[in-house]
Structure formats: structure tokens, C-alpha cells
Amino acid sequence: MSEPHRARVIARSSLPAETDRPASSVRHVAVVLGLAAAVPSLLWPSSLGFLPSPSTVLTVLATVLAFGSAGKDALRLRFGLFDAALVFLLSARLFSEFVNAVELNHAVHSGIFTTWFFLWLASISARLVIKTKRDVRDFLFWLAVPAVGVAVLAILQMLRFPGVLDWILANVSVGGLEARVQAGRTDLRSTSTIGHWTALGGYLAVAIASFCAVLIMDRSAKRRGRSVFIFICIAILFAGEMTTLTFSTVGAAAAVLLVTFLKLKGNPTLVILAGAAGIIGWQIFGSDIEGRLDQQSTVSRYTDESLRWLPSTIAYRVRIWENETVPTWLTRPLTGWGQQTYDFSPDWPIRPKLLSWASPESQWLAVLVRGGLVELFAFILLLVAMFVVIKRSRAVLGSGASPIFVVLVSLVVTFLINSPFSTNGVPQILWSIIGVLTAASTIAVGEHSESDSELDRGRA
């Protein structure tokens, strides 16, 4: 036996086997973070209204559990690329906000910084408990499990199950849904505990990607005991996705499933369950989907002739961008107007006169209007850092990283017409996943079995 090969064998044998390591800390932290991501818009009863949001409390609890589990190992936590990009974004946002506060005479909005700080804590908590490849698989699995409950509630909400809508209106912050109900509109879309149908769609797409990553990794490791359960969960999540009637996020989820199908070499179970979920979903929500499609094809009399070929919701966005959003940004291109621009707060002394619509309807324009080119530059660097983290994690996850990559690409595509990073839902679950992948990229090759390594190299 050659010396290099003998050294590799000794190094591998000196590490604890995956099956010997207790996974309770991984499961506990993942479930708590999963619950935090599942209830970002849930409200406390009025008697507990003085507390931070339930999602924030759960994130802090997960952080305490993670640091308690890590012990002295927490001191070895390294400041990585994603951390640097996130701190740079927060610094750029803080700079823009202070400039805007001075020049426009409004208060600095601290809420956006504290929110992203707790998201950062979620990623750190995930990193602290990841030690082996099995930890990665288990964490991604348990993180996504609470999403099943969110999807079930969304399905019941769309079915008008007695009491569900009333409970959501009373216990979840759902401004858009509440406005539609008060207006007597019947074209309601599911929000569940996420708070908005578009945000719910993005959240469920990321949860589907997390489950799909586990499916691929379990198959590589020849651990298929929970595959049937995951398939059922994915079917429920996709049915919940359809209740949002948000075609951009439905498309993102479909893209993730397609890539997973190809990575699993045409696994028929995935096709059958996805097809069954689609058929059942169409039978139940078909009329709502048809109504949404009809709405897309209806052309408003206010729509310019040059835009009539576009779906109606895209056409009105273009009209808003041309008449409101872009001109507003161009008046203050470097630092924007401030993080609370779209809150339409009455105590703001100087507001952009052109804005009347309550949303930028685009992630890119949301960043520009609120923080200008300064924040946009930092935001792009954060996205680059996330893609680099995913790429590096392939050394351990192999093809299991593909669903995460696809869902992030899909979300970036939806930036044109949605703002998934500026609303509840996507960040809460995605930041935890990025934390897992950051930890995975630092796991030595010797920490996972030789068979896993060979299979992953073959599938990469």
C-alpha cells in the first residue's frame, strides 16, 4: 500500500462514522429554523403583542440551541464569503439610509437591518451544527418539513374550508388579502402563514428544492428509507404552490422538479406523484387557474397599444415602471429614497411625488428606488456570493446542489416582476440553506464515505 493511500485510509478511519454521530442537534435546530421560516407573518395574541415576532423568537431559540450544541467549536466559526457579502450589503444600505435621512429629513429605518441580522443568525445557526454529509441531508430534510403544514393550510384556504380564512385574517399579517376580502373580491389567492401569495410561492419553491436535494443525496448514499415520504411531501408542496396562482413561482418549482427528475435518471415515482398532484390540483383549483389565465389575457383600455401583446399583469407593471418607478429612481439615482419609501408613511416630510402604486413590482427596481446604485452594487455581490457558495458545496453535495442552484436562478429570473428578497418567505428559508451549504463546502473529503464520494463525483 502506498504511503499517500495509507494516509488517506488512516485519516478516514480516525473520523467518526456518520451513523455513530448523534443527529438530535441537527434535527432540533433545523426544525426550529424551519418553523421560523414557516411563520414569518404570524402574529402574537394581543396580550403578547409586545414580544418580537414568533419567527424572530424561533430564530433566536435556534441560535441558542446551535451555540449550545457546538460548544467550543463555535469559536472556530469562520467569517466567509457570504458573511462578507451580507455585511457589505448591510453597510451599503446603512450608508444610503443615513444619506437619505439627512437629505430628505426622515428618520433612519432600523427594521430592515434587524430583520436581515436575524436572517444572518439563521445561516450561522445552520453552519454550527453541520459536521458531516449526513448532517447536510438531515438538516435540509427537517428544515423543509414545516413547509408541508404551510402548504396544507394554503390548500384549505383555497378550498374555503370553514374557519380557515377567518383564522388567517385574524392571526396573520396579510394586508393584500385583507384588502381583497374587504373589497368583496372573489379572486382570492392563498397566503397561508407567509403573508402574501407571491411570497408563499417562492417559499414553497425553495422548500421543494430542499426536499429534492435530499432525494438526490439519499440516492447517492443508498439511503432511500424516507424517499416515499419525501415524494408525498413534494406532491403536497406542489399542490400548495398551485393555490398561489403565481405562475412565476409555479414555474420555478416545476423547473426544480424537472432537474431532479433528470438527476434521478427518470425516477417514475416522482413523475407519478407530480402528475397526480397536478391532476388533483387542476380538478380542485382548475376554475381558479382558468380565471387567472383569463385575467392575464384581458387587456385594459388603459394599456398602450405597444403593450397589448403582453399578459395583463406584465403590461400594467411596465406601465408602472415607465410612469412611476424608473422616473422616481432617476431623481435620486445614487442612494434612492430610503427603505420605507413604499410604506407611504404620513410622517415623511419629503416623498417622491410620482409614486402612487404601493409596490415596485420588481426586485431590481425595489433596490434602486430604496437604496440606489450603491445598494444595487452590494446586492449583486451578495447574489454572486450565494452562487459561489452553491458551487463550492458541490464537492460534498454533488448533484444534490442542483435543485438549490436551479431555484436560486429561477428566483433571480422572477426579480424582473417580483420582489422575493424584500418580502417574508424566501429569505427565511433560503438563508438557512445557504448556511448549510457554506458549512458543507468546508467539510473535508475524508468526512464522508468513499462510496458517497465516488457516486457524487460520477453524478457531478
Please tell me the predicted confidence (pLDDT) of residue 73. Answer: 79
DSSP conformation letters of 434-455: HHHHHHHTTS-GGGS-HHHHHH
287 vs 149, which has greater pLDDT?
A: 149
Q: Classify residue 424 by its DSSP letter.
A: S
Nearest to 435 by CA among 216, 128, 199: 128
Q: Is the pLDDT of residue 453 over 50?
A: no
Q: Is the pLDDT of residue 54 over 80?
A: yes
Q: How confident is the model at residue 5 (pLDDT cuts 50, 70, 90)?
A: very low
Nearest to 363 by CA among 328, 411, 307: 411
306 vs 20, which has greater pLDDT?
A: 306
Q: What is the mean pLDDT of residues 117-145?
A: 93
DSSP conformation letters of 273-306: HHHHHHHHHHHHHHHHHHHHHHHHHPPPTTS-GG
Q: Name the region of 77 (left: φ>0; alpha: ψ -120 to 50; beta: rest).
A: beta
Please tell me the predicted confidence (pLDDT) of residue 221. Answer: 58
Q: Is the pLDDT of residue 155 over 80?
A: yes
Amino acid at 9: V
Percent above pLDDT 70 for the chain:
84
145 vs 455, which has greater pLDDT?
A: 145
**What three-state secondary structure class fits 42?**
strand
pLDDT in tens, 177-232: 988 888 888 888 999 999 999 999 999 999 999 999 999 998 865 666 688 899 99
> How does the average pLDDT of the chain come out, rounded?
84
* 216 in Cβ contact with 404 (< 8 Å): no
**What three-state secondary structure class fits 422?**
coil
Please tell me the predicted confidence (pLDDT) of residue 109. Answer: 84
CA distances for 396 relative to 121, 203, 239, 458, angstroms = 23, 25, 31, 12
pLDDT in tens, 280-311: 777 777 667 666 666 655 666 556 666 666 77
Q: Is the pLDDT of residue 445 over 90?
A: no
Q: What is the mean pLDDT of residues 67-83?
A: 85
458 vs 136, which has greater pLDDT?
A: 136
Least confident of 117-131, 266-280, 359-373: 266-280
* 243 in Cβ contact with 154 (< 8 Å): yes
Please tell me the predicted confidence (pLDDT) of residue 381. Answer: 97
Please tell me the predicted confidence (pLDDT) of residue 220. Answer: 63
Q: Which cell numbers hold the place of 359? A: 409596490
Please tell me the predicted confidence (pLDDT) of residue 39. Answer: 96
Highest mean pLDDT (candidates 242-251, 309-318, 369-378): 369-378
Q: Which residue has the cell 458543507?
A: 440
Please tell me the predicted confidence (pLDDT) of residue 30. Answer: 97
Q: Is the pLDDT of residue 22 over 90?
A: no
Q: Which cell numbers hold the place of 186? A: 372573489
Q: Which cell numbers hold the place of 450? A: 468513499
Q: What is the mean pLDDT of residues 244-265?
A: 91
Q: Is the pLDDT of residue 8 over 90?
A: no
Q: Is the pLDDT of residue 6 over 50?
A: no
Q: Is the pLDDT of residue 458 over 50?
A: no
Q: Is the pLDDT of residue 264 over 50?
A: yes
Q: Which residue has the cell 433612519?
A: 108
Q: What is the mean pLDDT of residues 252-266?
A: 90
Q: Is the pLDDT of residue 122 over 80?
A: yes
Q: What is the mean pLDDT of residues 127-141?
A: 92
Percent above pLDDT 90 for the chain:
53
User: What is the C-alpha separation between 327 and 369, in angstroms, rounded?
Assistant: 10
Q: Is the pLDDT of residue 20 over 80?
A: no
Least confident of 77-86, 214-223, 268-277, 342-351: 268-277
Crossing angle of the two packed helices 197-220 and 227-242, in degrees rounded to 10:
160
DSSP conformation letters of 74-136: GGG----HHHHHHHHHHHHHHHHHHHHHHHHT-----HHHHHHHHHHHHHHHHHHH--SHHHH
- Helix or strand holding residue 8 (H, E): helix 3-13
| pTM score of the predicted model | 0.87
Phi then psi dihedrals of residue 42, to 5 deg: -70, 140
Cα 142 → chain centroid: 15
